[in-house]
Amino acid sequence: MNEFQDFSYDVIVVGSGAGGGMAAYTLTKAGHRVLMLEAGREYDPTTETPMFETVHQAPLRGVGTPDKDFGFYDATVDGGWTVPGEPYTTGPNSEFLWWRARMLGGRTNHWGRISLRFSPYDFKGYSMDGLGYDWPVDYAEMAPWYDETEKLVGISGNNPGLDDVPDSAPGVLQPTFKPRIPELLLKAAGNKLGIPVVPMRRAILSRPIDDRQACFNATSCGRGCSIGAAFQTTTSLLPLARATGNLKIVTDAMVKTVETDGNGRATGVTFIDRTSREDVTLKARVVILAASACETARLLLNSKSERFPNGVANSSGEVGRNLMDSTGAGIAGLVPGLSGRPRYNEDGNTGAHLYVPWWGHKQQLAGKLDFPRGYHFEYGSGFVSPRMQLGNFARGYGKELRDSVNKAYGAYVALSIRGEMLPNANCFMEIDDNTKDQWGIPVPKFHWKWSEHELSQIKHGLATAKKLIETMGGYTLGDPPPAERAIKKGGEIIHEVGTTRMGSSAKDSVTNHHGQCWDSNNLFVMDGGVFASNPHKNCTLTIMTMTMRNASWLATELNRGAL
């Protein structure tokens, strides 16, 4: 056992988000001692969350600014698209956005909580269409781990019996939230067009678990949740792991390198104490990297030695490659039939209660679509809590102005595409040798180019969204733009994964199917970096599920004295 500040431990976990939180929870529950290093500050949602504060009470009525990109109340500390003193760069003709948070719990404090498990198609995409890579695990093996994770995290949703939405085991999911009027209208439009509209699965409790209360159907989840109804590691996995007495968390610890010996074994890590600005090197029996796909890859690439001249765990040259995000594009519409309808409390859990899963696997297998892989629609609608943007709907002045805003309120709907991207050789990250952050750590440089696959998919999605909105008796605000213009920038959907891909061979992947680095058997990656593909389903649930599986395996290995 190693010691740090009178705490003895076997395992160092870097990062406290979805992967780090689950790794620490699983290992400490199994009796192992874990030291967690988090680059950001301590953060406590029970006292820091602006529950019920209205935008009226916020500076600039809460709109996004360069200080708070997603709005004043967003639960992102010291981060967003920029982190002061910690730049990143992009290659020629590349646009890439990288969202970071410097806080305990990382991005789980503000994420959308959409939790869609991958399907058999999603794990074996290459076998279906010859593109990208298969995962070195299949759905049958993952299914029980999804069940365990969903129970622990608390997912509301149901089993609609669709091939894109595999059933959870009986008793796993919590009750769904009743759909609202604009969602029922979408469902009716979907019925006519043969497009499924089913309950969303989100990490929002409709029933209490432990100390976490059920959602009381008010105040946006992106602010974080002081009652623990919306999942974030800071109100769930981390307190549970701390309660075992086996976890010590060190915040303001910015890890910069993984230390290795001449045999390739990880011996520990070096971090910068952000308060004293001093380097601290710690030893460990096992090192788990869960710093987020791009931070983890950056760490590995920055950890050069005689044994690893291109960075630790990078004998394949794949670290930083296969960088993927989700595709994204949004289109809004006006539905006159929803104008002036009876008011009622339409907050619900403040996110979508229904969504459109991917319905085209069979058409794709029959060669009827001109793009591979799927997408889903997230749907926004309703009498939402007012924001500055309502001013967009005002016209004229006086009574006319009041009438125009009232008429538009609750009559606008939006469909947001989230689709699968295939890995391609133009999308990767490397280290920018010319730029260091304020800690002296070389920064990532991102390269990005969408391929025809993604553009064709977006084109299809926009046309379908238009059809759905028109079937509801509405209009899109103009004709859908060309896909090149509509598609979001790389990284903008904040589903970046793939930079330390898992695979079945040391030649073309960074880790094996346990997230164990091929080059360094006591070094693990337990974040989105290990994704072999990036299905249209938001990545967090699978990061947690894969981590629970792999950390459980690691716990048994440690028990039997391996590593």
Partner 1 sequence: MSSNSDIIFSAIDDSLKNCVPAKQDNKTHRMSRRETLKWLSAVSATLTIPLTTPALAAERNIAKSDLVGSFAPWPKLDIKPVEAEGYGKDPKLVRPDTSPWPLTLTSEEKTKLTRLSDILIPESENFPSASAIGVPEMIDEWVSAPYPRQQRDRSFLIAGLEWLDYEAKRRFDDSFANCSENQQMEIVDDIAYSSEGTPPDLDTPTRFFAALRQLVAGIYYCTPEGTNDLGYIGNVPIVGDYPGPTTEALDHLDKLLNELGLTL
Q: State how far the Cα of 310 lies from the Cα of 433, in Å rounded to an integer.
A: 13
> What DSSP string runs through 503-524?
-S-TTT-SB-TTSBBTT-TTEE
| Residue at token pair 């040259």 | 317
Helix (H), strand (E) at residue 28: helix 18-29
| Residue at token pair 């696997």 | 361
Q: Kindly report the CA angle at 37 between 301 and 556, in degrees rounded to 5?
A: 90
Helix (H, G, I), strand (E, B) or coil at 192: helix
Helix (H), strand (E) at residue 260: strand 253-260
Helical packing angle, 540-559 and 139-153, nearest 10°: 100
Contact 266, 520 (CB under 8 A): yes
What is the edge-to-edge ordering of all strands in the sheet holding 428-436?
89-90, 442-447, 428-436
Q: State how far the Cα of 269 lies from the Cα of 9, in Å rounded to an integer.
A: 14
User: Torsions phi, psi of 62, nearest 5?
Assistant: 80, 5
Contact 108, 503 (CB under 8 A): no
Contact 295, 430 (CB under 8 A): no
Cβ contacts of 282 within 8 Å, gap of 6 or more: 2, 4, 12, 35, 268, 269, 270, 271
Burial 16-55 (b: 16+ CB within 10 A, else e): bbbbbbbbbbbbbbbebbbbbbbbbeebebeebbbeeeeb
User: Torsions phi, psi of 478, nearest 5?
Assistant: 95, 170
Helix (H, G, I), strand (E, B) or coil at 268: strand
> Closest distance between partner 1 and the C-beta of residue 393, in Å?
7
Helical packing angle, 181-193 and 452-471, nearest 10°: 110
Q: State how far the Cα of 105 lies from the Cα of 101, in Å rounded to an integer.
A: 9
Largest CA distance in the chain: 78
Count of residues making up the chain: 563
Q: Smaller CB distance to partner 1: residue 63 or 563?
A: 63
Helix (H), strand (E) at residue 147: helix 139-153
Q: State how far the Cα of 466 lies from the Cα of 439, in Å rounded to an integer.
A: 48
Q: How far is CA 421 from CA 248, 352, 532, in A?
A: 38, 23, 11
Q: State how far the Cα of 268 lies from the Cα of 11, in Å rounded to an integer.
A: 9
